[in-house]
Copies of this chain bind each other. A is one copy, B any other.
Amino acid sequence: MVSLNKVMIIGNVGVEPEMRFTPGGHPVTTFSVATNRRYDAGDGEKKEETEWFSVVAWNKLAEQCNQFVAKGRLVYVEGRLRTRSWDGPDGQKRYKTEVIASTVSSLDRAPASSGDSATVEPGGDISPDDLPF
> What band does the interface of chain A fall in when counting residues whose beta carbon is under 8 Å from B?
35 or more
User: Which residue in B11, B52, B82 is a CB contact (below 8 Å) of A83?
Assistant: B52
Q: Within the oligomer, what is the number of copies of this chain?
A: 4
Output the nearest chain B residue to A99 by Cβ-Cβ distance.
B81
- Residue of A4, A39, A82, A129 with most chain B CB atoms under a 10 A cut-off: A4
Considering only residues 94-133 of chain A, those with a C-beta below 8 Å from chain B are 94-97, 105-109, 111, 116-117, 119, 121-123, 126, 128-129
One digit per residue, 1 when the CB lies within 8 angstroms of any chain B CB and 0 when it does not, for chain A 58-79 equals: 0000000000000000101000
- Residue of A8, A41, A116 with most chain B CB atoms under a 10 A cut-off: A8
A128 touches B5 (CB 8 A): no
A1-B109, A4-B11, A39-B128 given; 10 more Cβ-contact pairs under 8 Å: A1-B107, A3-B9, A4-B9, A4-B76, A5-B35, A6-B8, A39-B123, A74-B107, A89-B90, A121-B122
Binding site for B on A (CB under 8 A): 1-12, 34-37, 39-42, 47, 51-53, 74, 76, 80-83, 88-90, 92, 94-97, 105-109, 111, 116-117, 119, 121-123, 126, 128-129
